[in-house]
Amino acid sequence: MGSVVIVGAGPAGAVLAYLLASRGIETTLVERQDDFAREFRGEVLLPGGLEPFHQMGLWDRLESVPQVKLTQGDAFVHGRLVASFSFEGEEFGPYAPRWMSQPGLLEMLVAEAEQHPSLRFLRGSAVTELVEENGRFVGVRVRSHGAEEEIRADLVVGADGRTSMVRRRAGFEVDEDPTPMDIVWCKVPMLPSMADPPRARFYAGHGHLLIAAPVYDGTVQLGWVIRKGSFGEIRQRGMPECLDAMAEHVDPELAAHLRRHREDSIAPFLLSTVSDRVREWVRPGVLVIGDAAHTMSPVGAQGLNLAIRDAVVAANHLVPVLSGDAAAGSVDAAARAVEAERSREIRVTQRAQRMAPFLVLRDGWLNRAFFGAVRRTLGRRPRRVRAGRAFLRAAMGVDEVKLRV
Reported as a single tens digit per residue, the pLDDT across 153-162 is 999 999 999 8
Residue 122 — pLDDT band, cuts 50, 70, 90? very high
State the CB neighbour count (10 A cutoff) for residue 147: 8
How high is the pLDDT of residue 146? 85
Residue 180 — pLDDT band, cuts 50, 70, 90? low
Whether 6 shows a pLDDT value over 90: the answer reads: yes
Higher pLDDT, 36 or 67: 67
In whole angstroms, how far apart are CA 221 and each of 82, 188, 291, 299, 395? 22, 7, 23, 16, 21
Contacts 24+ apart (CB under 8 A), 384-391: 384/83, 384/84, 384/86, 385/83, 385/84, 385/85, 385/86, 386/85, 386/86, 386/89, 387/73, 387/85, 387/86, 387/87, 388/89, 388/91, 389/91, 391/85, 391/87
Q: Which amino acid is at 246?
A: M
- If you average pLDDT over every residue of the chain, what do you get? 87
Query: In angstroms, rounded to a whole number, what is the distance separating the alpha carbons of residues 357 and 297?
Result: 10
Residue 385 — pLDDT band, cuts 50, 70, 90? low
State the CB neighbour count (10 A cutoff) for residue 79: 17
Mean pLDDT for 140-155 is: 94
Q: CATH code for 181-227+229-272+362-394?
A: 3.30.9
Whether 166 shows a pLDDT value over 80: the answer reads: yes
Nearest alpha-carbon partner for 327 in 170, 43, 169, 136 = 136
What is this structure's pTM? 0.90
How high is the pLDDT of residue 362? 59
The CATH homologous superfamily of the domain defined by 3-66+101-177+274-357: FAD/NAD(P)-binding domain (3.50.50.60)
Residue 269 — pLDDT band, cuts 50, 70, 90? confident
How high is the pLDDT of residue 311? 98
